[in-house]
A and B are shown apart, each in its own frame.
Chain A
Amino acid sequence: DGGITQSPKYLFRKEGQNVTLSCEQNLNHDAMYWYRQDPGQGLRLIYYSQIVNDFQKGDIAEGYSVSREKKESFPLTVTSAQKNPTAFYLCASSGRTGAYEQYFGPGTRLTVT
Chain B
Amino acid sequence: AQKITQTQPGMFVQEKEAVTLDCTYDTSDPSYGLFWYKQPSSGEMIFLIYQGSYDQQNATEGRYSLNFQKARKSANLVISASQLGDSAMYFCAMRSPVNYGQNFVFGPGTRLSVLP
Contacts and interface: CB of A to CB of B under 8 A. Distances in A.
Contact of A58 (B47, B52, B102): B102
Contact of A101 (B44, B50, B103, B108): B50
B35 A101 contact: yes
Nearest to A57: B102
A21 to B, nearest CB: 14
Closest 5 pairs (CB-CB, A-B): A99-B33, A104-B45, A107-B43, A42-B108, A45-B103
Interface string A31-65: 00100010001110100101000001010000000
Interface in A77-113: 88, 90, 92, 94, 99, 101-107, 109
A42 B109 contact: yes
Contacts, number: 52
Interface residues of B, number: 23
Contacts of A56: 101-102
A99 B47 contact: no
A106 B102 contact: no
13 contacts: A33-B103, A41-B109, A42-B107, A42-B108, A42-B109, A43-B91, A48-B102, A56-B101, A90-B43, A99-B33, A102-B45, A102-B104, A104-B46
